[in-house]
């Protein structure tokens, strides 16, 4: 990627990490704070909670940075980069949903597998907060980077800023 301002990537990733890390802690607190120790499985288990967490982080880490980046390109505040090789649709809603489903499958399975091997029994609430925060930051970093990269490759002429999901 020639002529790319990597500070723009860093800024978008940092903002996404702060927001998604904070939201991960918030929702973990709401769901699990009444327990001192949380088992990985069952109705109060933390393992299956990776699925909705990953979906929402992936969805929002695609939607928000893409809308912001397309708007900044349309306003000529940042420059587009040459077309990236992607088979994802230009339609923002379809792109975000496809990325959310893909990364939910990929990261959730990895997180559940890794967590079940690292934590062989119940995990303390504070440790779970740290785990969910770090996980949220990792997912946000990867998805935001890819979303910004694809958005910078979108043609500003094709981007409808008022309704970014109206084109396919």
Three-state DSSP state, 84: coil
- The pair of structure tokens assigned to 159 is 């981007």
Asked if residue 28 belongs to a domain, the reply is yes
Distance of CA 131 to the CA centre of its chain: 16
pLDDT of residue 155: 65
pLDDT of residue 14: 96
pLDDT of residue 156: 55
pLDDT of residue 166: 45
The string of pLDDT tens digits covering residues 57-104 is 999 999 999 999 999 988 988 888 776 667 788 899 999 999 999 999
Q: How many CB atoms lie within 10 A of CB 122?
A: 16
DSSP letter assigned to residue 88? S
The string of pLDDT tens digits covering residues 14-63 is 999 999 999 999 999 999 999 999 998 888 889 889 999 999 999 999 99
Asked if residue 163 belongs to a domain, the reply is no
Structural domain range at position 101 = 6-153
pTM for this predicted structure: 0.85
Q: What is the residue whose two structure tokens read 């699990």?
A: 32
Helix (H) or strand (E) holding 32: helix 6-32
The rounded distance, in Å, linking the Cα atoms of 108 and 55 is 9
Task: Give 165: exposed, middle or buried? Use CB within 10 Å, 0-12, 13-18, 19+.
Answer: middle
Domains identified in the chain, total number = 1
Asked if residue 164 belongs to a domain, the reply is no
Asked if residue 72 belongs to a domain, the reply is yes
Asked if residue 112 belongs to a domain, the reply is yes
Asked if residue 44 belongs to a domain, the reply is yes
Q: Please list, in sequence order, all residues whose beta carbon lies within 8 angstroms of the beta carbon of residue 25, skipping any fewer than 6 positions away.
A: 129, 132, 133, 136
């Amino acid at each position: 990627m020639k002529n790319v301002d990597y500070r723009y990537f860093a800024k978008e990733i940092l903002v996404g990490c702060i927001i998604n890390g904070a939201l991960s802690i918030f929702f973990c607190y709401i769901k699990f704070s009444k327990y001192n120790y949380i088992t990985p499985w069952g109705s109060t288990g933390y393992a299956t909670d990776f699925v909705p967490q990953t979906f929402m982080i992936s969805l929002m880490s695609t939607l928000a940075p893409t809308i912001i980046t397309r708007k900044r390109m349309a306003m000529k505040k940042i420059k587009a980069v040459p077309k990236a090789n992607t088979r994802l649709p230009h339609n923002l809603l379809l792109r975000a949903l496809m990325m959310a489903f893909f990364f939910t499958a990929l990261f959730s399975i990895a997180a559940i597998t890794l967590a079940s091997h690292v934590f062989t029994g119940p995990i303390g609430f504070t440790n779970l907060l740290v785990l969910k925060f770090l996980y949220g930051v990792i997912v946000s970093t990867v998805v935001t980077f890819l979303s910004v990269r694809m958005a910078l490759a979108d043609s500003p002429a094709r981007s409808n800023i008022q309704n970014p999901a109206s084109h396919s």
